[in-house]
A = this chain, B = another copy of it.
């Protein structure tokens, strides 16, 4: 049998990957923390990525998409503090210059570099500082955490996760880093994520497996319903392990990594006090299940109730009602964890005290059973707190 074991190393857990970071003072002009990271594969890779579906795409997203089509990717350069979004033609030139400087520093071609930026929108990149910083990054086998920290914005902890997978042919490794925090919505979050593996995966299957895995992880999380201009998930496979896992084995390992990082992003959402798994089940269709789950997860009123530890089910049913999903009010049940709060569309006999205990926890599950069909959908979300508003009053 195949075994998966959690290991240290993050984006450098896989053989042949090194990472590092440095401080450029990108946001404030003063160097107070690392804000520029590089991840480098010592050998050739197959590479793929999924990007934001926002029609307003940041310059680094456009440049990375271009390089993915034409180049043999070897490295990713990432920065926090400035998203290089809504920056026009000069923003495009800046993203290209970041790639070119990284290529020079590593002895590669510009088209072999992917670029990710996160931070403020609409502000020009401080290019002199960035171009000075790039050659100063020291790449090491233990550089993952430094890189994970450098890409944090309002994140409160660095996000890394890695696995060693034992197959009957031998072992391969997979791991990644991510950042999240604000502007988090399915399709995708304001988030950056780089996953590396030393498994051998051809380009075609790599593309498909990443798309599917993102669908079941990062596209299921929502904090505030806002979708960013910069969202990027990159997957690099350098084959250094010599192992060619079956598509199913690789998929399950990748899912472990993407889902772990996605959950970390939700738990670290701005001002979050609850992590809520919302499941809509027995919906009439897959699309209905998704619509209903996302309407609940994005409802301002539902999220405010959770912040107050209030197991308010009327607001949940109300959200399902306007989601566009088919619903028969008289057959809908709603649960907090295992306890029914509403049965067949009316209040249950569960003591409110017990429901309040659940809704006041740091983590709980809300299940809506529509009893109309067989489709289900799960999203991971949070409450909406006064702290969230305070953090987003402006920059």
Contact = CB atoms under 8 A, between A and B. Distances in A.
A308 interface: yes
A288 to B, nearest CB: 11
Interface stretch (A39-47, A241-249, A387-395): A387-395
Given A386-B389, A389-B385, A225 B300 contact: yes
B395 A312 contact: yes
Given A87-B346, A389-B385, A121 B318 contact: yes
A386 to B, nearest CB: 4
A322 B88 contact: no
Interface band, chain A: 35 or more
Contacts of A317: 56, 86, 121-122, 229
Given A86-B346, A301-B182, A322 B227 contact: yes
A71 interface: no
Nearest to A390: B386
A314 interface: yes
Contact of A301 (B120, B183, B320): B183
A150 interface: no
B394 A308 contact: yes
A226 B386 contact: no
A337 to B, nearest CB: 18
Contacts of A53: 322
B385 A314 contact: no
A153 interface: no
Interface string A160-191: 00000000000000000000001101010000
A322 B226 contact: yes
Q: In the complex, which of the residues A228, A330, A389 has the most CB atoms of chain B within 10 Å of its own CB atom? A: A389
A182 B312 CA distance: 15
A54 to B, nearest CB: 4
A305 interface: yes
Interface in A38-73: 53-57
A219 interface: no
A242 to B, nearest CB: 42
Contact of A123 (B325, B330, B347): B347
A234 interface: no
B389 A389 contact: yes
A389 B314 contact: no
A264 interface: no
Question: Shortest 10 CB-CB distances between A and B: which pairs?
Answer: A310-B394, A121-B314, A308-B393, A56-B321, A304-B392, A308-B394, A88-B346, A54-B321, A227-B322, A386-B386
Interface of A: 53-57, 83, 85-88, 120-123, 182-183, 185, 187, 224-229, 298-301, 304-305, 307-310, 312-315, 317-322, 325-327, 329-330, 342, 344-347, 384-386, 388-390, 392-395
12 contacts: A55-B320, A56-B320, A57-B321, A85-B314, A86-B342, A88-B346, A121-B314, A122-B342, A183-B301, A226-B322, A304-B389, A304-B393
